[in-house]
Amino acid sequence: MTDHHYALAVTWVGNRGTGTSGYRDYARNCVLSAEGKPDLLGSADPTFRGDRGRWNPEELLLAALAQCHLLSYLHSAVNHGIVVTGYSDDPVGTMSQVGQGGRFTSVVLRPRVTITDPAQADLAREIHREASENCFIAASVSFRTSRRSWSPADQPASEKVATRSDTVRARSSYDAAVTSTNAVPPTTRTNTLAVKVIRPSSRTGR
C-alpha cells in the first residue's frame, strides 16, 4: 500500500466587523489555497446564506466525484486500447437535511464519451464500472454513486450514438464500497449509457 498526502489552506474572509455576533452578521466566504495553484473562492450554499458566485462544499464534493471518475475512465480507456477524443459530464447530487445537519444520499454521474472506433462502443460503456472501482473519491464516500448518460433523445440527430440499457446493482466491489448500512438502501435502476462514435475521417483539425 502507498500513502499519498494532500494539504491546503482554508481562510475565512467573512468577518464584517463584529464576527459571529449573530446569524446574519457574518459572511460565509472563504478562500481555499494551495502552493502553486490559483485560489479557489468558497462560500456556503445560498440556501445557508452563502454567496452563489463562489463554490460551496456540496458542489466541490460533486466535482471531486465527477473528476475522479473522468480520470479513472481515461486511464481504463488507455489500458483497453480505446481512443477517447471527448468526455463531458453533468453530475447531479442529492443532500438531505435533518435539523441543522444532513448528508448526501446519492450522486448520479451522466458521462458522455466520444471514441474513434465504433466496434469498441460496448467496451467503452463497460469500462465505466472498472473506472468506478478505481476511483479513489467514490471509494471514500458512504453514499451510492451511480452512472447515467444522456438518452439518445437528448443527442443531436447528426451524432451517431451507440446505446444499451445497463442495470446498475449493488453487487460489485465498487458498489459495496460506496454503500453503507447508514446510507439510503440502493435501488436497482436501469440506466442508458451513451457513447458517441466519431470516425477518424470526421475529426476536426483541432
H/E stretch holding 93 reads: strand 92-98
pLDDT at 158 over 80: no
CA distance 88 to 173: 25
Please indicate, yes or no, whether the overall pTM of this predicted structure exceeds 0.85. no
Could you say which DSSP state residue 55 is in? B
Instruction: Render pLDDT for 172-190 as a digit per residue (tens, 0 to 9).
Output: 222 222 222 223 333 223 2
pLDDT at 150 over 90: no
Going by pLDDT thresholds of 50, 70 and 90, the confidence category of residue 143 is confident
pLDDT at 161 over 50: no
Amino acid 184: pLDDT: 31
Q: Which domains does the chain have, with CATH numbers?
A: 9-48 (no CATH), 57-202 (3.30.300.20)
Q: Contact 161/82 with Cβ under 8 angstroms?
A: no
Beta bridge partners of 48: none
CA distances from 160 to 88, 108, 110, 189 (A): 16, 24, 18, 25
Which distant-in-sequence residues (6+ apart) come within 8 Å of 48 by Cβ?
28
| Grid cell at residue 148 | 447515467
Amino acid 156: pLDDT: 41
Instruction: Render pLDDT for 35-90 as a digit per residue (tens, 0 to 9).
Output: 999 999 999 999 999 999 999 999 999 999 999 999 999 999 999 999 999 999 99
| Grid cell at residue 108 | 448520479
